[in-house]
């Protein structure tokens, strides 16, 4: 329980939470970006 309190009440905890959130958002963005590029590449490869 102390770890959760430290995570949201200290400067280093808030920075850690911010970094974790940023990494998760960045991972979702990259997944969508690469999926879109792969789909575009597949469509371009099918066109004669």
Segment 29-47 shows an average pLDDT of: 96
Contacts 24+ apart (CB under 8 A), 23-31: none
Q: In this prediction, what percent of the chain has a pLDDT beyond 70?
A: 100
Domain extent for 37: 2-46
* Residue 48 burial by Cβ neighbours in a 10 Å radius (0-12, 13-18, 19+): exposed
DSSP conformation letters of 18-38: HHHHHHHHHHHHHHHHHHHHH
How many domains does one find in the chain? 1
Mean pLDDT (the chain) is 96
Q: Dump pLDDT digits (tens) for 6-17.
A: 999 999 999 999
- Answer whether 10's CB lies under 8 Å from 4's CB: no
């Amino acid at each position: 329980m102390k770890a959760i309190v430290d995570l949201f009440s200290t400067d280093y905890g808030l920075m850690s939470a911010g970094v974790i959130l940023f990494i998760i958002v960045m991972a979702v963005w990259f997944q969508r970006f690469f999926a879109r590029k792969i789909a575009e590449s597949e469509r371009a490869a099918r066109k004669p």
